[in-house]
Structure 1
Amino acid sequence: MTKKALITGITGMVGSHLTDYLLENTDWDVHGMCRWRSPLDNVNHLLDRVNRKDRVFFHDGDLCDAISLIHVIDEVRPDYVFHLAAQSYPKTSFDSPIQTYDTNILGTHRLLEAVRMCKECEPVIHVCASSEVFGRVPKEFLPINEECKFHPASPYAISKAGTDLVGRYFAEAHNMTVMTTRMFTHTGPRRGDVFAESTFAKQIAMIEAEMIPPVVKTGNLDSLRTWSDVRDAVRAYFLLVTKNPVPGEYYNIGGTFSCSVGDMLKHLVSISSCGDSITVETEQARLRALDADLQVPDTTKFREHTGWEPTISFEQTMQDLLDFWRKQVRNNNFLTR
């Protein structure tokens, strides 16, 4: 019988790339949960298959509505669950902390409770937390391993600490096969423009198209990040649920190339056709009240368990991200913000 994967947040960057990976590398059917109002830009290339019911199926569901989650689980009865849906914007969480906590912490609890209540399935479940749970890590604790204490620096990070703990609770209390991940910075095509590298690439594409002056507006450029590609990330998630899954385990996942946000911006500018004319300007509205400024992972545990290694270079990721925004600008498929 064909296996079924349920992806919450299928319309997001990671969810859409994970769908692409599963369609290409497995014979599974892919069921995606999304809100009825979710934008479909990232999954436009899948809509024909959805309409033809060709291995891709969409289901209306909302992490803030327990009944909708029960209906989705009962209808799909998945073999695998990739819980990616979240309020995923750290900066937004400062303005909307309660909604962030409700969606990410209670939403995860509601989803796992819906799975627990369904007697017709016992899926392998991936709960996606975030490296942001580690927050403000002293230099002497770099690289960050799984046992580093949590010191979240935003309501989003607090919510992901809760997400992480809820996932482990269900594994331990209810004998469910739940594993959590703390993915460090990952990016690439379809990355939302609320994230630093994506808004930089978007602004550069607009500068190249002569839509805005040659000035890139920035927030904090000093944060140190380890960069990985979203396409490497989704391959890691597939291995997580298929390579001897261990209930209750938790893993750091991330790339191998580290540099500051400022150096990342310099690289994007260097590959722009307008690089010589671009200047940089800090904008107060783009700064967070607190920032997780040292995000360098130790991924030994996950790599030794699964054999996963990142394969896409930082340079390729940034080139693909910039090319993605060039296409969006060329097709006028974006908002100026």
Structure 2
Amino acid sequence: MTKTAFITGITGQDGSYLAELLLSKGYEVHGLVRRASTFNTHRIDHIYVDAHDPDARIFFHYGDLSDSEMISHVLYNIKPDEIYHLGAQSHVRVSFETPEYTGNVTALGTTRILEAIRRSNPAIRFYQASSSEMFGHIAPPQNEESCFWPRSPYACAKLYAYWMTRNYRDGYNMFTCNGILFNHESPRRGEIFVTRKITRGIAAILAGKEKYLYLGNLEAKRDWGFTPEYVECMWQILQQDTPDDYVIGTGETHTVQEFVDAAFAYAGLDPEKHVKIDQKYFRPTEVEALLADPSRAEKKLGWKAKIKFSELVKIMVDADMKAAGLSPVGEGYEILDKKFPGRWWGRD
């Protein structure tokens, strides 16, 4: 029997890759899309099928995570087997400027969905996109037993959502799981996130459109992985016999400076000639180092990251060079062909 999945945040990086994955597995996919004055569906336009097409297996529903009535209405109508809650105000720096909005959407939005599940069908399996930012000031490596010390409104909101997910699991015997994902990147990463900002900046410099790239804290350390691998892990989490929480990452940490150096070197540029520091990109409170210990995921899910830091950098630089009308170096595509033969990842 065909399974039905509902994805919040389907137009984002994670949601678009997850939708493709679920469609490849035969799911009927429904996604929540925020209505805006301009179209924001470019990441999923290539898989859109007119809803009136008898062969359509993907459908979009306009709404907002601040509207509990809408959420209940959508769940009642589509009756999903699985819900992947990826939607949020997800930019850490922006959360300092919009803390109330971040809490309403990122924290309470999760509660609205959990309550709608409890009232309509507690058998629905629920995945909460939790974040490594919840660990904040806790010394690495971080795993499922580590304490939390959030250092931003975004991290505080995600921690609220994390605990609500656990409380609904414990209190109502619901299949609710947290995937505590460390930083994950791809050619579909939002343009204001630092990794994509770096690779787009390199392409713009090579194309002669920009001379400088302005960045903030270059000493922050992060565990960076490849998004398409991470959405496969999301799916695996909801296929288990019992619900649980999982830390997902590569087990490696690198500074923003290392990302800059690797990306510029790959493109044949000198970062000292092009990179400038702008204080406006610094956070009021910084998270110094994040490093995943994904042992539980490796043991229980059989999941382990295939793409590591240096390979990720090449994949993203190649993609942005191609998008800018330049000839990619090509090593990134060779990596994808070798590790994921026949897959589309990284080529958009």
For normalisation by structure 1, the TM-score amounts to 0.91
1:291-310 correspondence runs (5 A): 291-310=286-305
Counterpart Cα distance in 1 of 2:51 and 2:263: 35
1:1-337 correspondence runs (5 A): 1-24=1-24, 26-37=25-36, 39-48=40-49, 52=53, 54-119=56-121, 122-138=123-139, 142-213=140-211, 215-244=212-241, 246-247=242-243, 249-275=244-270, 278-330=273-325
SS at match of 2:31: strand
Counterpart Cα distance in 2 of 1:232 and 1:250: 17
Q: CA deviation at 1:72?
A: 0.9
CA 1:276/1:217 → structure 2, altered by over 3 Å: closer, same or farther? closer
Q: CA deviation at 1:273?
A: 4.3
Q: CA deviation at 1:18?
A: 0.7
Q: CA deviation at 1:319?
A: 2.2
Counterpart Cα distance in 1 of 2:51 and 2:129: 25
SS at match of 2:60: strand
Post-superposition Cα deviations, 1:148-188, rounded to whole Å, max 9, x if no partner, equal: 11111110010110110111111111111001121001101
SS at match of 1:242: coil
Amino acid in structure 2 at the alignment position of 1:100: T
CA 1:46/1:254 → structure 2, altered by over 3 Å: closer, same or farther? same
Q: CA deviation at 1:49?
A: 5.9
Q: CA deviation at 1:257?
A: 3.1
Amino acid in structure 2 at the alignment position of 1:78: P
Post-superposition Cα deviations, 1:211-262, rounded to whole Å, max 9, x if no partner, equal: 111x221111111111110011011111111132x23x22111113321111
SS at match of 2:162: helix
SS at match of 1:243: coil
Counterpart Cα distance in 2 of 1:275 and 1:23: 42
Amino acid in structure 1 at the alignment position of 2:229: D
Q: 8 Å contact 1:190–1:324 — kept in the other structure?
A: no
Structure possessing the higher relative contact order (Cα contacts under 8 Å, 6 or more residues apart): 1
Counterpart Cα distance in 1 of 2:28 and 2:173: 26
Q: 8 Å contact 2:250–2:308 — kept in the other structure?
A: no
Q: CA deviation at 1:56?
A: 0.9
Q: CA deviation at 1:325?
A: 2.5
Q: CA deviation at 1:278?
A: 4.1
Amino acid in structure 2 at the alignment position of 1:148: S
Counterpart Cα distance in 2 of 1:278 and 1:63: 44
Q: CA deviation at 1:314?
A: 2.5
Q: 8 Å contact 2:252–2:291 — kept in the other structure?
A: no
CA 1:174/1:204 → structure 2, altered by over 3 Å: closer, same or farther? same
Counterpart Cα distance in 2 of 1:19 and 1:323: 24
Structure 2: gaps spanning 5 or more residues: 327-348
Amino acid in structure 2 at the alignment position of 1:132: E
Counterpart Cα distance in 2 of 1:277 and 1:150: 36
Q: 8 Å contact 2:28–2:58 — kept in the other structure?
A: yes
Q: 8 Å contact 1:87–1:103 — kept in the other structure?
A: yes
SS at match of 1:42: coil
Counterpart Cα distance in 2 of 1:183 and 1:118: 28
Q: 8 Å contact 1:49–1:55 — kept in the other structure?
A: no
Counterpart Cα distance in 2 of 1:43 and 1:275: 35
For normalisation by structure 2, the TM-score amounts to 0.88
Q: 2:330 is matched with which residue?
A: none
Q: Kindly report the root-mean-square deviation, in angstroms, between the aligned alpha carbons of the 2 structures.
A: 1.8
Amino acid in structure 2 at the alignment position of 1:28: Y
Q: 8 Å contact 1:228–1:257 — kept in the other structure?
A: no
CA 1:191/1:174 → structure 2, altered by over 3 Å: closer, same or farther? same
Aligned-pair identity in percent equals 31
CA 1:63/1:48 → structure 2, altered by over 3 Å: closer, same or farther? same
Q: 1:335 is matched with which residue?
A: none
Amino acid in structure 1 at the alignment position of 2:164: V
Counterpart Cα distance in 2 of 1:313 and 1:153: 26
Q: CA deviation at 1:51?
A: 6.4
Structure 1: gaps spanning 5 or more residues: 332-337
CA 1:322/1:12 → structure 2, altered by over 3 Å: closer, same or farther? same
Post-superposition Cα deviations, 1:257-286, rounded to whole Å, max 9, x if no partner, equal: 321111011111011144478432111111
Runs of 4+ in 1 over 6 A off after TM superposition: none
Please say which of residues 285-294 and 273-282 is displaced more in the overlay.
273-282
